């Protein structure tokens, strides 16, 4: 859905491919090591206790590459050292995050595709 949305604004296939690779690099590889800790640091979140892991879960949900980890944490029943349900991982949050990452970009792409024509 995200790449289809990007394709509505880019002129060539090379630009779409480059943007897709850039998004993969940032959201897939750099998110958990650089972006997520930097956001939590800038928000002055203390790195102790369950509140930190709740905030970390929210920040990580902004990356579509985290969705499989979210499902895995739900099935395992734990998130770091806490129970998954204690930090807010339940079937409803998984469905909500999945729908947001699938429906929102797809609907926006459909809107812009119809508006363009």
- Summarised one tens digit per residue, pLDDT across range 68-108 is 888 998 999 888 888 988 888 899 999 999 898 888 888 88
Residue for token digits 């926006």?
A: 108
pTM over 0.95: no
Q: Is the pLDDT of residue 117 over 70?
A: no
- Summarised one tens digit per residue, pLDDT across range 30-45 is 887 888 888 888 988 8
Coil vs helix vs strand at 83: strand
In the chain, the percentage of residues whose pLDDT exceeds 90 is: 7
Q: What is the pLDDT of residue 57?
A: 85
DSSP state at residue 1: -
Cβ proximity of 111 and 5 under 8 Å: no
């Amino acid at each position: 859905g995200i790449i289809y949305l990007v394709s509505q604004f880019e002129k060539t296939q090379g630009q779409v491919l480059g943007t897709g690779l850039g998004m993969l690099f940032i959201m897939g590889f750099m998110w958990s090591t650089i972006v997520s800790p930097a956001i939590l640091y800038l928000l002055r979140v203390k790195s102790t206790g369950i509140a930190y892991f709740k905030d970390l879960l929210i920040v990580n949900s902004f990356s579509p590459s985290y969705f499989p980890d979210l499902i895995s944490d739900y099935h395992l029943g734990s998130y770091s050292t806490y129970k998954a349900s204690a930090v807010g991982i339940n079937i409803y949050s998984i469905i909500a995050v999945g729908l947001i990452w699938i429906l929102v970009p797809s609907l926006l792409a459909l809107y812009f595709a119809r508006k363009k024509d």
